Amino acid sequence: MNSHLVRDLEALKKRLLTLAMRVEENMLKSVRSLRAMSENMADEVVVSDKLIDSLEVDIEEDCMKILALHQPVASDLRFVITVLKINGELEHIGDVAANIAKRVGYIRAEDKVEIPFDFETMTTRTVYMLKTAIDAFLRQDSALALGVCSDDEIVDMANRECYSKVREIISKNPKSAMCCINWLLVSKSLERIADMCTNIAEDVIYMRHSIIARHNIKAASEQIRGESEE
Amino acid sequence: MILTMENPKEKTRCFAQEDTAAAPLSGAAQKAKKTDLPVPEAAVSARGFCVNYGSFKAVKNVDIDFSRGRVTAIIGPSGCGKSTFLRCINRMNDFVDGCTTSGLLALDGVNIFHKRLDVVELRRRVGMVFQRPNPFPKSIYDNIAYGVRLQGRIARSELDEIVELSLRRAALWDEVKDRLSSSALGLSGGQQQRLCIARALAVKPEVLLMDEPCSALDPKSTARVEELIGTLSGDYTIAIVTHNMQQASRVSDFTAFFYEGNLVEFGKTSDIFTNPKCEATNDYITGRFG
């Protein structure tokens, strides 16, 4: 047994989990800062995003070392490739969470308007997608991953509804435009995070089944079902 | 005896890990293990091929096709039967006491173990390169010319041409052209191994068998031999036994994984090293056992 490789893969997994936890915390905090309209909390999100950036670089370097030193193949190779990709997605989610937090200052500065989308439902769903995608990675569970992919449509729809609602509010009350646009940006950010959770889920499917699900999740889902029936 | 069957070349085949002669196969393995006859494109084919050393079953019920002009790597832990199988292709095991075979092993559709088969001609058509370079204690020129002379009288100019061509094909000509009459034993290990490959090529074989050809070589010589395998593929059908996973993945088009005498999985190298179908293959190539 190649104990050095197993040890390094285990360490890599732990490091990715640390990153995932930090990103999840930051995302929750950005949602809380918006709910409470707390600029202090929003600033904390922006500051801790720097830690996320540095952890992402460390994980990428670890992956490079493993590839260069161990030349992994088969399931080990797919694991390292998946970590490399998820690492990038998590860092990006961290950036988007920081962008959400940055909206607090702009929204506070404007006259208060009705939030043009179901804030609680959309944030809860997006956070759930992130948690589930990471869970799917940990358990190598493609059923969980497929669930994340199908949830994406719910968030997409909420974002589309937000756009229509913003148009409607602005046409009725043009003074609310700036505030509405910032809320639309929040909605768009949540939709992007959901997209990135879907990417993570698709990476998990690749890791588990060596199927690239990126452009045709339906076919991938059928293939996975076919494999499990065999 | 000419043999035909469906073309399984592009498929990855995952066979049962137990003794397939004794145990029933899973649905997928049964589909893959049709005991129809070999594909015409295959230079070497085995169907239900077994090798026993006395009562010990060294190779069990193997079905495989070596595609013409392609490189097939045979991998597996020590004692899994890979070298035994390889050596059967030019009947090297004929000299081993108590070694018996059953089933079919065919070269171009002709049973290698047919009692009227000319074994000398078989060994001309199927060259072999061993783990340790084994040049004859003769000059570089005579090493290459040896097999050609055995085939009958030949004009000196023609022999010179064959020697040069073989050494060129083995990427050795530039290094030895000025000392062809020197002893081959004075060459470095890597050069000696390429000389052995040139010697095998001189008799115009169709198949080259390589039994861990780089295991006694340094990294640079290994790289030269691997490059050579790359240039020879297309013109020769090559079967290489190796313990070096990276080497198997670098040089071969197809990979066969043997375990305890069974062919566990066979498929395109790119599939085997990224997405093996059998857990045993995955565990072996990732270094978790063996």
pLDDT tens digits for B122-175?
A: 999 999 999 999 999 999 999 999 999 988 888 999 999 999 999 998 989 999
- Tell me if A74 and B249 make a contact (CB, 8 A cut-off): no
Model confidence at B15, pLDDT cuts 50, 70, 90, reads low
**A3-229 has CATH 1.10.3720.10 classification:** no
* Res. B285: pLDDT tops 60: yes
Contacts of A218 (CB under 8 A, 6+ apart): none
* Partners of residue B288 in chain A, C-beta under 8 Å: 1-2, 6
**Assigned domain for B290 exists:** no
Average pLDDT over residues A101-124: 89
* Option in A6, A71, A74 nearest B274 (CB): A74
Closest-approach residue (CA) in chain A for B273: A74
Which of A9, A73, A81 to mutate: most B Cβ within 10 Å?
Answer: A73
Model confidence at B34, pLDDT cuts 50, 70, 90, reads very low
- Tell me if B286 and A78 make a contact (CB, 8 A cut-off): no
Closest-approach residue (CA) in chain B for A211: B275
Q: Are B25 and B15 in contact (CB under 8 A)?
A: yes
- Tell me if B288 and A210 make a contact (CB, 8 A cut-off): no
Predicted model pTM: 0.79
* Partners of residue A71 in chain B, C-beta under 8 Å: 246
Q: Are B63 and B20 in contact (CB under 8 A)?
A: no
Q: What are phi and psi of B259, to 5 degrees?
A: -150, 125
Q: Reduced to 3 states, what is the DSSP secondary structure of residue A223?
A: helix
Average pLDDT over residues B226-250: 93
Count of domains observed in chain B: 1
* Option in A73, A75, A78 nearest B249 (CB): A73
* Partners of residue B268 in chain A, C-beta under 8 Å: none
The conformation of residue B162, written as its DSSP 8-state character, comes to H
User: How many Cβ contacts (< 8 angstroms) between chains A and B?
Assistant: 37
- Tell me if B281 and A76 make a contact (CB, 8 A cut-off): no
* Res. A46: pLDDT tops 50: yes
The range of the structural domain enclosing residue B92 comes to: 13-285
Q: What is the pLDDT of residues B162-171, one digit of tens each?
A: 999 999 989 8
The conformation of residue A116, written as its DSSP 8-state character, comes to S
Q: Are B281 and B272 in contact (CB under 8 A)?
A: yes
- Residue B34: count of CB within 10 angstroms of its CB: 12
* Partners of residue A230 in chain B, C-beta under 8 Å: 27-28
* Res. B35: pLDDT tops 80: no
* Res. B26: pLDDT tops 80: no
Average pLDDT over residues B234-253: 94
Percentage of chain B exceeding pLDDT 90: 74
* Partners of residue B27 in chain A, C-beta under 8 Å: 230
**Assigned domain for B44 exists:** yes
**Which CATH number covers residue B158?**
3.40.50.300
* Option in B27, B246, B286 nearest A74 (CB): B286
- Tell me if A77 and B28 make a contact (CB, 8 A cut-off): no
Instruction: Quote the minimal CA–CA distance from B274 to chain A in Å.
Output: 4
Pairing mode, if any, of strands B99-107 and B237-241? unpaired
**Assigned domain for B2 exists:** no
Average pLDDT over residues B68-86: 96
* Res. B232: pLDDT tops 70: yes
* Partners of residue A74 in chain B, C-beta under 8 Å: 272-276, 281-282, 285-286
Average pLDDT over residues B183-191: 95
pLDDT value of residue B39: 53
Instruction: Quote the minimal CA–CA distance from B275 to chain A in Å.
Output: 5
Percentage of chain A exceeding pLDDT 90: 80
Q: Reduced to 3 states, what is the DSSP secondary structure of residue B47?
A: strand
Instruction: List, in sequence order, every residue forming a beta bridge with B71; answer none if it has no partner.
Output: B238
Mean residue pLDDT across chain B: 87
* Partners of residue B280 in chain A, C-beta under 8 Å: none
pLDDT value of residue B13: 58
Contacts of A131 (CB under 8 A, 6+ apart): A24
* Option in B28, B246, B272 nearest A71 (CB): B246
pLDDT value of residue B31: 38
* Res. A229: pLDDT tops 80: no
Taking an 8 Å Cβ-Cβ cutoff, which residues of chain A contact chain B? Answer: 1-2, 5-6, 71-78, 210, 230
The closest of B46, B48, B44, B50 to B100, measured between CA atoms, is: B50
pLDDT value of residue B288: 82
Residue A78 CA to residue A101 CA, distance in Å, equals 34
Instruction: Quote the minimal CA–CA distance from B25 to chain A in Å.
Output: 14
The closest of A139, A9, A211 to B287, measured between CA atoms, is: A9
* Partners of residue B286 in chain A, C-beta under 8 Å: 2, 5, 72-76
pLDDT value of residue B12: 55
Tell whether ipTM is more than 0.85: no
